[in-house]
Structure 1
Amino acid sequence: MERRVFLVTSRQTWGRAVASASLAALVLATAGCGSSDKESASNSAGSLAELKKTGTIRSAFINAKPLAYMDEKSGLLDGSGPTVLKAIMTSIGVKNVDPILTEFDAIIPGLKANRWRMSAFPFYVTPERCKEVAFTNPTAQYLEGALVQSGNPLGLASYKDLAKPGVRVGIQSGNAEIEWAKDNGVKQSQIKLFSEEALAVEAVRNKQIDVYLNAEFSVIQALKTYGDKGLEMASPFEGPIVDGKEVVAYGAWALGSDDNELREAFNEKLAEMLASGELLKLQEPFGYNADAMPDPAVTSASLCPDADWAK
């Protein structure tokens, strides 16, 4: 099945993280671990040479496991995004990442106002966002995963299977999977929405629903976080089909639309890491697998063809 590039908005995970952002920012400011976006220090782009000279890049994040979060034990920024970001910036010659805790909706305005240089984690590339900021090349492609009961008793192997009568489908409120499921024949009456992932996982375990849908890497992480007793990830599992092609969404780091030197240097190192397998190795602890690695032919320019910075 040919895959179709599908640009979607951010997942509910990021929305939920916003609720704790203000309190966490106060804690960070008090403890000296990272900074708050309330600070007024400027972080104007400048040249790549100037960035290397300072040795520190300001980067905005929200608490959203496994993408980016402040580790409670170490007090340090962790997650798949920051791990790759730190590795690439070090190879470029910038050894320090200054994490700025903020709300998701403030990241792009903050980039445009030079409050930080980059996002600390990749998020979905959309046509609307391409008009506001630039993006690096993708760090991952998001295929769909399905959490089912052990043994996959209903034999669910695709979104098409979910449309069978009687299949009970769990999805987090606000997620793109809601529309994808409907577009693939699942009736509204079959769908049960959950405010939190933990509730959906337990609903599958307790046989209240038959399947929970989310990105494949999120399902892998959920099994690690909540335990795999009585559960497994359906494999193989074909994601939603749109226009005859399987949907694929891409995530990338955001930076200023005029920050060409940094974007090009970042993309060069990212390509090297993807080719060598280092990109996968760094992200595996956070639930990523080989299927989540992006197609090298997909670039920020191909995802944002109408953006001035991509031409």
Structure 2
Amino acid sequence: MKVTIAYIEEPPFGWTKADRAATGADIDLAEVILRAIGVTRIEYRLTTFSELLPGVEAGRWDMNVPLFVTPERANLVAFSVPVWAIGDGFLVRAGNPKALDSYASLAQRDDARLGIIAGQVQHDSARASGVSEDQIVVFEHQADAIAAVRSGEIDAYASTALGNRIVAQRMGRSMLEAVEHEPGTNGTQRALPFGAFSFNRGNSDLLNAVNAQLRAYLGSPDHRARMSKFGLTRNEIDPVLAG
């Protein structure tokens, strides 16, 4: 049995190593789950974020790495049970020269520019907090958004707080700084949003098998140990176990 899974370049969740092999927290989790349900061949398809949902919906691959679950996305694809819960944050230049710690704080500065990856939920979150379209610069790839922060083209790049921490650590905190959003500052969103694998809505056999294995595996010592290697802790794992 073969399964093709699409991923994007977004450490620590997924990225391509020098030997062209896919790796990352979401890749590792997918491998464990798929092997456990009898998949003998796993292929990885590198794509852009904006192509993840159309690609799996059209059947160009079998499943996507986890992304945030929203009602709009659930109309297009079938989501697995959630696998992590992560809040938003900013990647800014070292010292955070414009003191940006939330979408609302950025919205209050007409001179502030925010970078967002096309199709990601951060776009809606920013708009809901008052950030204007004139302040938003859309990128297809994370690497381009990070380069724009470094060059000063934008003042902040919005992504997951965890992902930004990993990027800042890798690039050196003397260049970039990760800022976790202050609680309660981003509109009405209080609970951390959940991320889940996604599938073609007609592929119920694979979805059901993955879900059954996820329910047995998530929160186990092996799961926690594997995720900790990529920086995911009980803060990201425990919220999805409560249900």
Q: TM-score range by the shorter chain?
A: 0.7 to 0.9
On the 8 A contact 1:159/1:240 being kept in 2, the answer is yes
RMSD of aligned Cα (Å) = 3.6
Q: 2:113 pairs with 165, 169, 173, which one?
A: 169
Shift of 1:137: 0.3
Counterpart position of 1:78: 23
1:214 aligns with 2:150: no
On the 8 A contact 1:240/1:247 being kept in 2, the answer is no
On the 8 A contact 1:68/1:120 being kept in 2, the answer is no
Q: Secondary structure at the match of 1:122?
A: strand
Counterpart position of 1:143: 87
Cα displacement string for residues 275-303 of structure 1 (whole angstroms, at most 9, x for unaligned residues): 235444433444544443342245xxxxx
Q: 2:42 pairs with 98, 102, 107, which one?
A: 98
Counterpart position of 2:32: 87
1:201 aligns with 2:146: yes
Q: 1:230 pairs with 165, 170, 175, which one?
A: 175
Counterpart position of 2:9: 64
Counterpart code for 1:181: A
Rate the CA distance shift 1:178–1:231 in 2: closer, same or farther, 3 A. Answer: same
Shift of 1:225: 4.9
Shift of 1:214: 1.5
Q: 1:253 pairs with 191, 197, 206, which one?
A: 197
Counterpart position of 1:30: none
Q: 1:158 pairs with 92, 102, 114, which one?
A: 102
Measured in 1, the distance between the counterparts of 2:220 and 2:227 equals 14
Rate the CA distance shift 1:198–1:135 in 2: closer, same or farther, 3 A. Answer: closer
Shift of 1:259: 5.6
Unmatched tracts of structure 1, length 5 or more? 1-55, 299-311
Matched pairs, number: 234
Shift of 1:138: 1.1
Q: 2:131 pairs with 186, 190, 213, which one?
A: 186
Rate the CA distance shift 1:288–1:282 in 2: closer, same or farther, 3 A. Answer: same
Q: Secondary structure at the match of 2:92?
A: strand
Q: Please, what TM-score do these two structures have when normalized by structure 2?
A: 0.72
On the 8 A contact 1:157/1:234 being kept in 2, the answer is yes
Q: 2:186 pairs with 234, 241, 254, which one?
A: 241
Q: Please, what TM-score do these two structures have when normalized by structure 1?
A: 0.59
Measured in 2, the distance between the counterparts of 1:146 and 1:241 equals 12
Measured in 2, the distance between the counterparts of 1:132 and 1:203 equals 32
Measured in 2, the distance between the counterparts of 1:134 and 1:179 equals 21
Counterpart code for 1:80: A
Identity of aligned pairs, percent?
Answer: 24
Q: Secondary structure at the match of 1:246?
A: coil
Cα displacement string for residues 9-37 of structure 1 (whole angstroms, at most 9, x for unaligned residues): xxxxxxxxxxxxxxxxxxxxxxxxxxxxx
On the 8 A contact 1:122/1:254 being kept in 2, the answer is yes
Cα displacement string for residues 103-130 of structure 1 (whole angstroms, at most 9, x for unaligned residues): 63222221xxxx76x4152234343553
Measured in 1, the distance between the counterparts of 2:146 and 2:184 equals 19
Counterpart code for 1:275: G
